[in-house]
């Protein structure tokens, strides 16, 4: 299995297909913008489809990855043009693994308010990490000093073909 990572400053859809057809892992380095969030989301959807996830799981995986990318761009890097986000996508026989990292001040997951608590239910924000945890099987936080890396893991079911 090839383990090499491919770095793109910008990702075009044809790059993504080429990378996926020859490797099991791709790594993107992108600017801190909404456009990058959309690219990361689209890549997650493509990967999840080719990993064999069903039509209900694919949009949920894509949404979780989008939320992680939004966190990295908005809350981590605060749209700073001098900072980048990285996103890596990997499929193994058992899992799809996505890592999203920023260069921000760091995020302590224990300080995130519960969006389901009565005092927070009408807040206009703060549901991103909750949705990530709702749609993925495992979510891990790692402090990068500076920055935060989120690892999102979705397990394949036995019925899904390995890639």
For another protein, which is the closer residue by CB, 23 or 60?
Answer: 60
Distance CA 35, CA 94 (A): 30
Distance CA 155, CA 97 (A): 9
Task: Report if residue 30 touches another protein, rule: CB under 8 A.
Answer: no
CB of 26 to another protein, least distance (A): 23
Task: Report if residue 111 touches another protein, rule: CB under 8 A.
Answer: no
Q: Which stretch binds another protein (CB under 8 A): 18-26, 60-68, 75-83, 146-154?
A: 60-68
33-42 as b/e, with b when 16 or more CB fall inside 10 Å?
A: eeebbebbbb
Contacts of 80 (CB under 8 A, 6+ apart): 32, 103
123-153 as b/e, with b when 16 or more CB fall inside 10 Å?
A: eeeeebbbbbeebbeebeeeeeeebbbbbbb
Task: Report if residue 75 touches another protein, rule: CB under 8 A.
Answer: no
- Residues 113 to 152 in contact with another protein, rule: CB under 8 A: 115-116, 121-128, 130-131, 134
CB of 55 to another protein, least distance (A): 12
- Which residues of the chain form contacts with another protein (CB under 8 A)? 34, 37, 59, 63, 66-67, 70, 74, 115-116, 121-128, 130-131, 134
């Amino acid at each position: 299995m090839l383990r090499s990572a491919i770095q793109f400053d910008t990702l075009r859809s044809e790059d993504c297909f080429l990378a996926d057809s020859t490797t099991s892992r791709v790594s993107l380095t992108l600017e801190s913008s909404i456009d990058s969030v959309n690219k990361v989301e689209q890549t997650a959807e493509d990967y999840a489809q080719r990993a064999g996830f069903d039509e209900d799981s694919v949009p949920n995986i894509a949404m979780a990855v989008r939320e992680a990318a939004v966190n990295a761009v908005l809350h981590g890097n605060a749209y700073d043009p001098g900072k980048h986000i990285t996103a890596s996508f990997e499929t193994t026989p058992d899992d799809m693994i996505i890592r999203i990292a920023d260069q921000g001040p760091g995020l302590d997951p224990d300080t995130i308010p519960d969006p389901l608590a009565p005092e927070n239910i009408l807040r206009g924000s703060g549901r991103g990490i909750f949705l990530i945890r709702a749609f993925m099987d495992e979510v891990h936080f790692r402090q990068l000093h500076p920055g935060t890396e989120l690892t999102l893991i979705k397990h394949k079911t036995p019925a899904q073909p390995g890639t």
